Amino acid sequence: MKIGEYLISKGKLTETQLREALLVQSVSEKRLGEILIESGYIADSDVSAYIAYDSGREFFSELNSLSLYIDKRENEELGFAFLYDIPAVAVRKGNVPYIICSEITANFSEKMAFDENLKKFKIGFSTKR
C-alpha cells in the first residue's frame, strides 16, 4: 500500500489533500511524506507509522504509555550505540523482546539479519528519543 492510500485509510489525509500534494511532488524533487508534513496535512509521526507498517515493524508513538521495561543487562551486552551507531534500546513488552529505535539504517538492518544475538528480537520503531 502506498503512503497516500495508507494515510487516507487511517483518516489522516483526504483525497483532495493527496491530489494537491501529488501535484506539488510532480514539480519538486521532494518525497511525498515531506510535502505532506510541510503542508501541515500530517505529522512526522504519521510518516513514521507508515514506514513501520510498510516494513512490517511495530510503531510505538508513546513509549511511556506502554507496559515496556528496559532490559539493562541486554542493553549492556549488546551495546547498541557503540556496535550499531544508532540510538536504540532493548525492551520487553510482556515476554516479547524488542529493539526500539528511531531510525533504521542499512548497517542496523544488516546486523539484524545476520547477527545471531539479535534474531530473537522484534523491531519497534519510535520517533520519541
Each residue's pLDDT tens digit, 56-74: 766 666 555 555 656 666 6
What pLDDT digit, counting tens, does each position of 20-40 carry? Answer: 999 999 999 899 999 999 999
Q: For cell 524488542, name the residue.
A: 98
The confidence band for 96, taking pLDDT boundaries of 50, 70 and 90, is confident
Nearest to 63 by CA among 95, 99, 37, 34: 99
State the DSSP H helix or E strand holding residue 69, giving kind and residue range, or none if neither. strand 68-70
Radius of gyration of the chain (CA): 17
Beta carbons within 10 angstroms of residue 108's beta carbon: 20
Domain residue limits, the chain: 3-54, 59-125
pTM for the model stands at 0.57
